[in-house]
Structure 1
Amino acid sequence: MENYPFFVVLFLTAITGGSTDVISPGECRECSDGSGCAYRYQFCNGWNTCANGEDENEDLCRDLECETGKMKCKNGIHCFPEYTLCDYYAYCKDGSDDDHEMCKNRTCLTDTTKCNDGIACYSQQDRCNGVELCQSGDDEDMEMCKDFQCPPDHVKCADGLQCIRTKYLCNGYPSCKDESDESKETCTDFQCPPDQVKCADGLQCTRTSSLCNGYTSCNDESDESKETCVDFECGEDQVKCQDGIQCIYENNLCNGWPDCKDKSDESAKVCYGYKCPDDQVKCRDNIECIYKSGLCNQYTSCNDGSDEDEDLCK
């Protein structure tokens, strides 16, 4: 074997016979120069992860099989995602994944259609969706889209051209280019899905689970208003903050990090009488709870530093 860096020798040994099955997708291999580590998907992708570039070593990459769902560039070195093949944007440094002659001779997959220029392929789901995938624009051709029937679970925008998913109707964020999916005409009588409710404006739908959580979901902010939240019952395993408005999860009480906007979940009034979960203990201040595993581990967990106290850790 040639004089590769030690790390590369180990990696080449691991892929002897062309098999990469022994390399776990979640494994991060340490770079020999100490600059970090590289995951399997970061090898031979054309971009250095290790500072010394050993994850892109050409000899290593020629022997390395691409992961499932990836293909080799013409140079036999780099791997690229199959879904980027012939998409008008070169992923391979040699441009081979978007070579026009190769793309024109390529057969599209079942249920996909070639663009008029013969380069890219697009699916029925991508036809008339308001986003041009063909550089020639034929997937969004106006005459074609007027007669096009949207796929299941899709609806036409008011312009009669664009299709959007039904689940995007009246969610407060325009998906139609003409914004008709968020208009009064569309949303006034629109019935929200079972797990959602209307905002005070009578137009936008928001998830019930997002009500009174301290983070605005409704554009009119009504989901966090006093009118909505004073009588709102928090969800399972949740409690009300002292302001009587915001709900937080009970397991976030007295953990040293305020979740309530009024910070009442970390107040002495709440935490002095609070019993920590079985796998946690109180800090010396009798307010904050930390995991027992955080005691005497040389990393301060308690805000008062008592978990690393010398007398405690003897």
Structure 2
Amino acid sequence: REGTCPVSLRLDAESWKHEQGLPPGAQACVTRTNRTGFLCHDRRSCIPASGVCDGIRTCTHGEDEDEALCRDAPRSLPGFLVARCGDPASWIYSDQKCDGTNHCGDCSDELSPVSACPPCGPGWWRCPPTVFKYCSCIPRSLCRDHVQHCSDWSDEYSCPGL
């Protein structure tokens, strides 16, 4: 019958995770800084995506460093933890996307349309940066510091600073 799937082909989320060798219950959460996170098994601790498989056991039971989860990153990581860069071979953790820093090396994690990042936040100034660490915004703390950070010098002459 159209629109149905044979029972033998149905997998619930936990079965799929088990089949992939992922720890049961790997779930997304939102961190205190409003970023994508990994929910620890205690269902209380939400660690940033970039805190998973970083060599430091952050979750009480160490599930953020689980061998099955980390053995073949990014393929072994749940999709909610990973963001692809403009170069398909490159990836970053999802909480590093749209954070103002050029993690991908080509600014694809910061510039639209690939990343769909919102405009610069209140602590940032939009300009064409001279430092490749930033893509389209610089921290306002760099404004009016007598050092050129924007190719048009707007950080020294137009930016109101903090």
* TM-score (structure 2 length as normaliser): 0.41
* Higher share in helix: 1
Larger relative contact order, structure 1 or 2 (CA cutoff 8 Å, min sep 6): 2
* TM-score (structure 1 length as normaliser): 0.26
